[in-house]
Amino acid sequence: MGHAEHHAEQNAAPEQYDAVVVGAGFAGMYMLHRLRLLGLSARVYEAGDGVGGTWFWNRYPGARCDIPSMEYSYQFSEALQQEWEWSERYATQPEILKYANHVADRFELWPDMQFNTRVEAAEYQAKSGTWRLTLAHDDATDEVEARFVIMATGCLSVPNMPSIEGLDDFAGELYHTGVWPHEGVDLTGKRVGVIGTGSSAIQSIPLIAAQAASVEVFQRTPNYSVPAHNAPLDPAYVADIKSRYAEYRAENWQRGFGADFRDSDRSVFDVTDAEREAEYEDRWARGGLAFLAAFNDLPFDDAANATAQEFIRQKIAGRVDDPELATKLTPSTPVGCKRLCVDTDYYETFNAPHVSLVDLNETPITRVTATSIETTARAHEVDVIVLATGFDAMTGAVSRIDVRGPEGSLNDKWARGPRAYLGLATAGFPNLFLVTGPGSPSVLSNMLPSIEQHVEWIADCIGYMEQHQLGRIEADLKAEDEWVTHVNEVADTSIYPKCNSWYLGANVEGKSRVFMPYLGVPPYLEKCADVVAKGYDGFTLSN
C-alpha cells in the first residue's frame, strides 16, 4: 500500500483549508493576518503552547534581542507601532513575548491558531493538487488538507544537542538554553557547568554567575563580543522615531540590520590609523552590533577585518585581569564570521574567583558522568549542566517535517545542503512557501522586517493566483540553481565561509557545509520585486 493510500484509509475526510501555516512565531502570526485579509481560510499549527517562536522557547537568564527594540518589531500597522511601548534599548525575552501576545490579541489571531500541535508530515496529493498534513497532538495524530503550505518554522528553532557520551546519565539538572524551563531555574548555590560560548552563553553566563556557587565555562571556540550598553529608552528618542516611524523603517530597508547600524561607505583604508581607531572607539562606546558596520570592507577584506580583530583583542585584554585567561577568551577568526555577540559584563565575569574557563582545545570533553563533566585532564563536578550549544539553524525545523512533493522528499533533495529559489520556495514542491528560508538574507538581516517582506511577498503571490484563477505555483529548477550559485558566489567574496559557524551548518554533526543566508539586503529586495514585475519570473504558474 502506498503512503498516500495508507493515509487516506486512516482519515477519510480531513479538514480542508486554503492555507496551513506551520509555526506561530512572528512569521506565522503575520502570515495568518495576511491570509485572512485575502479572505482565505487559514490555520496555524504550533508545537509550543503559545505564540512567539524562538522568543517563546529561549527563556534562559539574560535572553534579549541584540537588535534595537525600536526596529525589532512589526511595521505593517502604524497603529500598532505607535501604541506599543518598548522599555529598553534592547528588549528582554519576556517583553518580546508580551509583544507577541499583544499582537495576537490585537489582530484576534487566536481562533485560527492551534497549539501543542506538531506538523509531522506534509504530502502532496497529485490528484487534488493539495497538501495533506499529519499533525501530532495529545498522543494522537490527525490530518488536514490545504492548497497552500507556508513554513513559518523559524531559523533558530531546533536546539542543537551535542553528542557527548554519557549525557543521558547525568543525575543533576540538565538544561538547554533554547528550551529553558518556563518556570525559571534557581541556580542559587549550585555548581554550574556551561557548555558553549555563543550569544546564548555570553548573555546568560553573567547572570548565572550572579546566582551560582561556581561556574565553569567549557569553551570550544571563543567568540568576539561587543558591549551592549543597554539602557532604558529615552522618551524623547522614542517620540522622535515615532514621529517619523515610516521614514525610519525605510532607512532600515537600505541596510541589512537596520538604521541603528549606521553602515559606513568608507573602507578601512580610506582613513588614517588615528581616524580608524577613533571610529572603532566611538562604536565600542555606543555599543552593539553596529561595530561591524564601522567600515564597508570589514566583511569582505581580510586585511581590513584584521584591524577590527586587533581592536577587540585589545579590549578583551583590558577587560580580563589574568592575561593568560584573556588570551584563551580571544578569538583568532575574522570578526563577524561567526555571529558577533553583544554582552553585558561577559568578559568581566571571568574576573570573579568562582568563575573559570575550561579550554576544550587543550582538554576536550571525554564524557559526562552522573556527577561531572570529564575532560582529558579531570572530572569537573557539577550540579547543573547548561547546554548553550545553539541550534540546527535555518533548515532544522523544516527537515524534521517529512515533506514529500510530487517527485520525492525534501530531505533527499536537501541532503547535500538546502536549495531554494530566493529562500521562498523550492523546485519540486508546488504551493509550498518558506518564510526566511535558505538563500534569503534572513539571519544576515534584521529578522522582523525580513519576515514581513517575505510574508507580504507570499501573500501578494497567493492573492495574484486567486485573482487570475491559478491553482499552482512552483519554482523552476533552473532559476533555483542560478540563485543558489549566486548566493554562494556572493558568500565566497566575504569572510563568512572562513570559520565554523551555524551559518554554514558547521555546528551540527553530519550537516552539509553550505552557506545558507544571502548576503545583501538591497540587491535581494530588488530581485524579489523584479521577479514579480516580470510576472513571477523563475516560477511556473498554472491552473
Contacting ligand NA7 within 150-179 (CB under 6 A): 156, 162, 177
Residue nearer to ligand NA7 on the CB measure, 218 or 421: 218
Residue nearer to ligand NA7 on the CB measure, 90 or 124: 90
Kindly state whether residue 201 participates in binding ligand NA7, applying the rule CB under 6 A.
yes
Beta carbon of residue 196, minimum distance to ligand NA7 (angstroms, whole number): 3
Kindly state whether residue 196 participates in binding ligand NA7, applying the rule CB under 6 A.
yes
What letter would DSSP give residue 159? B
Question: Is 327 in a helix, a strand, or coil?
Answer: helix
Stretch that binds ligand NA7, among 10-18, 143-151, 195-203, 276-284 (CB under 6 A): 195-203
Residue nearer to ligand NA7 on the CB measure, 143 or 343: 343
Residue in 382, 425, 378, 377 with CA at minimum distance from that of residue 405: 425
Kindly state whether residue 114 participates in binding ligand NA7, applying the rule CB under 6 A.
no
Residue nearer to ligand NA7 on the CB measure, 137 or 498: 498
Out of 73, 75, 93, 199, the only residue in the binding site for ligand NA7 (CB under 6 A) is 199
Residue in 100, 98, 74, 79 with CA at minimum distance from that of residue 87: 98
Q: Which three cell numbers stand for residue 222?
A: 571563543
Q: State the DSSP string of 463-526.
A: HHHHHTT--EEEE-HHHHHHHHHHHHHHHHTSSGGGS--GGGTTTSTT------S-S-HHHHHH
Contacts of 77 (CB under 8 A, 6+ apart): none
Residue nearer to ligand NA7 on the CB measure, 145 or 343: 343
Q: Are 527 and 362 in contact (CB under 8 A)?
A: no
Q: State the DSSP string of 64-102.
A: B-SS-TTTSS--S-HHHHHH----BSS-BHHHHHHHHHH
Residue in 63, 74, 68 with CA at minimum distance from that of residue 237: 68
Q: What angle do CA 280, 284, 285 make, to 5 degrees?
A: 120
Contacting ligand NA7 within 207-266 (CB under 6 A): 220-221
Out of 339, 380, 404, 413, the only residue in the binding site for ligand NA7 (CB under 6 A) is 339
Strand order in the sheet with 365-368: 365-368, 372-375, 379-381
Instruction: State how far the Cα of 140 lies from the Cα of 125, in Å rounded to an integer.
Output: 22
Residue nearer to ligand NA7 on the CB measure, 23 or 198: 198
Residue nearer to ligand NA7 on the CB measure, 14 or 441: 441
Residue nearer to ligand NA7 on the CB measure, 59 or 404: 59
Residue nearer to ligand NA7 on the CB measure, 194 or 531: 194
Size of interface with ligand NA7, in residues (CB under 6 A):
21
Contacting ligand NA7 within 279-338 (CB under 6 A): none
Taking CB atoms, the residue at the shortest distance from ligand NA7 is 198
Site string for ligand NA7, 483-502 (x = CB under 6 A): -----------------x-x
Out of 134, 157, 197, 446, the only residue in the binding site for ligand NA7 (CB under 6 A) is 197
Contacting ligand NA7 within 345-384 (CB under 6 A): 360
Residues facing 447 on adjacent strands: none
Instruction: State how far the Cα of 41 lies from the Cα of 300, in Å rounded to an integer.
Output: 46
Stretch that binds ligand NA7, among 24-32, 193-201, 245-253, 371-379 (CB under 6 A): 193-201
Q: Which residues contact ligand NA7 by CB under 6 A?
A: 156, 162, 177, 195-201, 220-221, 339, 360, 388-391, 500, 502, 507
